[in-house]
Structure 1
Amino acid sequence: MKPVYPAAKVRDYIWNFVITAFLAFYATSANAQSCPLATASNINSYPNTYYPASQATVNAGAKSITLGAVTNGSTPISSGDVLLIIQMQGAQINATNNSNYGANTGTGSGYLSNTALLAGNMEYVVATNSVPLTGGTLNILSGLTNKYQNTPFGTDGQYTYQVIRVPVYYDLTLTGNITAPRWDGASGGVVVLYATDIINMAGYTVDASGLGFRGGGGRAFTGAATGSSTDFVTTAGTNANGGKGEGIAGMPKYLNNNNSFLDVSTYEGYPNGSYGRGAPGNAGGGGTDGNPANNAENDGGGGGSNGGAGGQGGNSWSSNLASGGRAGSIFSQASPSRLVMGGGGGAGTTNDATGTPGGGFASSGSAGGGIIIMVAGNMFTGTGTIKSNGTNANSTVKNDGSGGAGAGGSILIFSKNGGTSNLVVQAKGGIGGSNQLTTIDPHGPGGGGGGGVIYSNSTLNASSSVAGGAAGTTNKGTSNYGATPGSAGILSQTITQSQTPTFPLVCVTLAVDFINVAAAKQDGTTNLSWQVSNENSNTKEYIVERSVDGINYTGIAHVSYQAHTSSVNTYEYKDNENIVGTSAVYYRIKMVSVSGNGQYSKTVSVLMNGLTAKLTVFPNPAKTSATVSFVASGSGDVSLRLFDLKGSTIWQKQTRVAAGNNSILLDQIANIPNGIYILQWFDGLKPQQVKLVVNH
């Protein structure tokens, strides 16, 4: 069974589903979202709504999820909305206090690449019910592809996912700079913009810089009773060392939360502790002081990572030991359908609490970039900037260790017909923290942040960058003192649509306008003609489709595109087939583009005796109303009835008609649920019926 689509207007679009998707669409109370109306929209702030997870585990195949109360965004989920589910954190680490910390590879950093690695998994779904801003149960159209997990710190660091409402626009124009809410440990850090036709940047910026994983919060300590300069992991209560950054493997106890100190909870956040030079996941490690007994050797924090590795934190003061924070690990699973935020930098060790803010907080690590996803079904227009850079670490510190920088975030850009060459896209690592003593007295600077990830299917502006951040300096800017820069991330401009997350509806921009379609019977032949405008080289051919019941259609002819020069062009086809066993035959025309997308005309029909068929309905699918047209053999009463596929009557009406052509407006369609219905006409002799698709 194939759906019948109405004529498209200039630069309008149709939505196509494969047959199985179409059936699934209507089999679930017809709740899937329609493509947007062909209208222009303007935005000057993020349009998404962010629901934190409430359900601990949602397995692949599940069709419901329990959501928490919204922390950012004002539009609740409605039935038919498109949503993005994304696993923000979820990775195990080896938490032993040696160089196998992290990935168990002897580097003192990273994560275990095993079946528990969920971070970055994401997919689009369609809601089949409403969920208020206070949260509740979300039902979705199709079973999930991935498993998602939301569990607090325990044997592993915390796992988190969130559900983001994604408005679907037609033509979208930015009228201001767009950002996203900051990642708060449960939601935020992501902005998703989707338009079926055009995204006009209009000179503005979409910015997720510093909205990703947060840096370790700096604290001044006077020394520990136990510990060694070779430790990779210690607890927050040890009274020495620097705090680890936040990343895919969890969240430390103390954070640099947008330049404010945040004590997350009573627990550590990472297995065996949230302090020391070991780097968990893609987060930078905190410095392990060269002399934990007095915490006065002040080495630097490690840089966060993403597509590129962060830099090592600088060495300890007088002992000159390479005990600075290790750099976070590259997220090697990165792809256009698996994205993570930039890792936060680790804190340097501090005992004198120099710099601004005080209390040792100036030695904090800084935040990584968030995630940006932008898709234009047709193309991007205008100039603009899209960036998700890691932030620079604080450089007001004097004779203390400085923090590591955040890594660049992740950006996915896709447009069918390009227009991206005027877009400057950045996912650069931040610069490691420096210390500003006016004497030659080196203290550990922070490591640079690693470069992020940028995926695009077409060429970006040459100024686009995923550069790693520079390492911090000491000795009046003359030395990095063991601190290293972050490495460059991933910049790919050749991805394909099949590599990106599958969007649950396909809204295709087509340029053809079917002005008229006509069919007439003459001497055993049905003469078909159709007029179109706005043809271009994207048009491949027209397929003539025929049906004897108005539901099941078969292609009977291919008519090639003709490179006309006039604005309105006419095509013709003669159907010489002698159809028997039916009183009417239905026709429609399908325009096929070079890329294989299709667009249907309205349906026309003829009686076998040469008259126009007794029953047609237009538009079909119908949104708010439709017109029923038929030919009555004489004046009298007729009955119209609309019923669903179970045979239940939805609407019926009796009316008096005149002989010949008649039309009746069905103006109650807005009150009818989406679905497939049968419209029946009966004049007391023989009923006729036609399929009607309702899609609001």
Structure 2
Amino acid sequence: MNRFAWHQFLIWFHFLLNPFQPQFGNAQCIPTGLSETVTTSGTVLNSYYPGGANVDAGQNMITVGARRGNFDIAEGDLLLIIQMQGIEINTTLPDNIINGDYADGPGLLDRQGHLNTANNRAGQYEYAVANGPVSSGSLPLKANLLNSYRHSLTPSGNLGAQTFQVVRVANYLNLTINNGASVSALPWNGRTGGIVAIDVAGNLTIGGFIDVSNQGFRGGGRRASEVVNNLPGHRGEGIAGTPRLVYDGLAIADLGTFTYPGTVSGDFAPDRGIGPPAMRVVPVCWMAAAAAEVMAPMAVMAAWMMRLIRATIPKEPLP
């Protein structure tokens, strides 16, 4: 069983491809919630709202769509705003690249295929505090946004889908995940899901798991039997868009359209959602005594997007 005694921290996950630094604005300290014990497997503690329109830095109102999850946003709730998709890719590169894989190659190979433009926002995020509930699709914030977020489901040139979501962060005084129980996320559906975000003021005790395996970007599907039609499979979902045919590990779904720029067939995918994600524990309201309270070893089971990642939190305290 793993136990944490940091004052105010967040567990968050992000793409190594886009290592944005955490930005908190005026969201560092919020009132603590109640204590909670998770006793069942697959418990979802967050709610998710899809971004419904572009929003610029300096604004304090976000247009959102319908909620997924059991908890409405209320005044004072901590929110995570994150750009899930939004990047320009080179759609003219050949299918076979002799230099190696795009996402896992050495040196700068992880950058190949991506165009360095201001539209590359995937992975950008920040925390904010709600100034009230969602009303007629509008979510008010207590402070202005530090970043701009983009929403578009229509590919244009080298730019595919641009999607962002607002996650209601689960806020507790103390949180216990019992042995055999687990905290999970709603599965990514092309607009929302795939993230676990928890804010604990006191003790986080993990006897079970934080498990988001198979809840992230979906694989690509195939149209028909290759024996009958011999049609190519679709590439998997990624930060540049979504194929028409997706596979969530259980079944193939036909979405009717795709949001990738260029073709979605074949093996060329400089934007594919592979490579090791990262997990961090980010102190929000750091106390001087907190470093002495860290108890080791502190192995945390967690995952972000694509696959189950088993990450070990360092035994030394964060600076």
Q: TM-score range by the shorter chain?
A: 0.7 to 0.9
Query: Do structure 1's residue 213 and structure 2's residue 217 form an aligned pair?
Result: yes
Pick one of 264, 267, 271 that aligns with 2:261. 271
What code does the residue aligned with 1:46 have?
V
Map of 1:189 onto structure 2: 194
Structure-2 change in CA distance of 1:416 and 1:279 (3 Å): farther
Any conservation in 1 of the 2:86–2:161 contact (CA below 8 Å)?
yes
Structure-2 change in CA distance of 1:453 and 1:150 (3 Å): farther
Pick one of 70, 77, 81 that aligns with 1:74. 70
1:110 is displaced (CA, Å) by 3.8
CA RMSD after TM alignment: 3.9
Map of 1:389 onto structure 2: none
Structure-2 change in CA distance of 1:281 and 1:158 (3 Å): same
* Partners of 1:271 and 1:223 in 2: CA distance: 28
1:117 is displaced (CA, Å) by 0.8
1:416 is displaced (CA, Å) by 7.7
Query: Do structure 1's residue 178 and structure 2's residue 183 form an aligned pair?
Result: yes
* Partners of 2:29 and 2:94 in 1: CA distance: 52
SS state at 2:241 partner:
coil
Q: State the TM-score, normalized to the length of structure 1.
A: 0.36
- Map 1:462-541 onto structure 2 (within 5 A): 496=319
Any conservation in 1 of the 2:219–2:246 contact (CA below 8 Å)?
yes
Query: Do structure 1's residue 166 and structure 2's residue 156 form an aligned pair?
Result: no
- The structure 1 segments of at least 4 consecutive aligned residues displaced by more than 3 Å after TM superposition are 31-34, 99-103, 105-110, 221-224, 373-379, 414-417, 424-430, 451-456, 493-496
Query: Do structure 1's residue 119 and structure 2's residue 115 form an aligned pair?
Result: no
Map of 1:253 onto structure 2: 244
* Partners of 1:210 and 1:150 in 2: CA distance: 24
1:218 is displaced (CA, Å) by 2.7
| 1:364-398 Cα deviation digits (max 9, x unpaired) | xxxxxxxxx7869789xxxxxxxxxxxxxxxxxxx
| 1:168-208 Cα deviation digits (max 9, x unpaired) | 2111122431111110100010011111111111x111101
* Partners of 1:427 and 1:43 in 2: CA distance: 18
Any conservation in 2 of the 1:84–1:123 contact (CA below 8 Å)?
yes
What code does the residue aligned with 1:205 have?
F
Query: Do structure 1's residue 151 and structure 2's residue 142 form an aligned pair?
Result: no
* Partners of 2:184 and 2:148 in 1: CA distance: 28
Structure-2 change in CA distance of 1:145 and 1:274 (3 Å): same
Higher relative contact order structure (alpha carbons within 8 Å, sequence separation ≥ 6): 2
Structure 1 unpaired stretches of 5+: 1-10, 15-23, 26-30, 225-238, 284-303, 308-333, 337-372, 380-413, 431-448, 460-492, 497-696
Pick one of 79, 84, 104 that aligns with 2:80. 84
What code does the residue aligned with 1:254 have?
L
| 1:443-495 Cα deviation digits (max 9, x unpaired) | xxxxxx8x969584x32xxxxxxxxxxxxxxxxxxxxxxxxxxxxxxxxx775
* Partners of 2:255 and 2:164 in 1: CA distance: 18
* Partners of 1:124 and 1:376 in 2: CA distance: 10
Any conservation in 2 of the 1:216–1:243 contact (CA below 8 Å)?
yes
Query: Do structure 1's residue 49 and structure 2's residue 47 form an aligned pair?
Result: yes
Structure-2 change in CA distance of 1:165 and 1:108 (3 Å): closer
Structure-2 change in CA distance of 1:280 and 1:251 (3 Å): farther
* Partners of 1:160 and 1:77 in 2: CA distance: 20
1:154 is displaced (CA, Å) by 1.7
Aligned length: 280
| 1:503-555 Cα deviation digits (max 9, x unpaired) | xxxxxxxxxxxxxxxxxxxxxxxxxxxxxxxxxxxxxxxxxxxxxxxxxxxxx
* Partners of 2:255 and 2:81 in 1: CA distance: 25
Query: Do structure 1's residue 36 and structure 2's residue 32 form an aligned pair?
Result: yes
| 1:237-265 Cα deviation digits (max 9, x unpaired) | xx632210111111111110241111112
Query: Which structure shows the bigger proportion of residues in strand conformation?
Result: 1
Query: Do structure 1's residue 243 and structure 2's residue 234 form an aligned pair?
Result: yes
Structure-2 change in CA distance of 1:221 and 1:422 (3 Å): same
What code does the residue aligned with 1:147 have?
S
* Partners of 2:173 and 2:150 in 1: CA distance: 33
Any conservation in 1 of the 2:44–2:183 contact (CA below 8 Å)?
yes
1:114 is displaced (CA, Å) by 2.3
1:429 is displaced (CA, Å) by 11
Map of 1:350 onto structure 2: none
- Map 1:72-471 onto structure 2 (within 5 A): 73-96=69-92, 98=94, 110-131=113-134, 136-155=137-156, 156-175=159-178, 176-201=181-206, 203-219=207-223, 220-221=225-226, 240-265=231-256, 267-283=257-273, 304-307=274-277, 417-425=293-301, 456=313, 458-459=314-315
Structure 2 unpaired stretches of 5+: 9-24, 103-107
1:420 is displaced (CA, Å) by 5.0
- Map 1:564-603 onto structure 2 (within 5 A): none
What code does the residue aligned with 1:417 have?
E
Q: State the TM-score, normalized to the length of structure 2.
A: 0.74
* Partners of 1:199 and 1:269 in 2: CA distance: 39
* Partners of 2:141 and 2:304 in 1: CA distance: 36
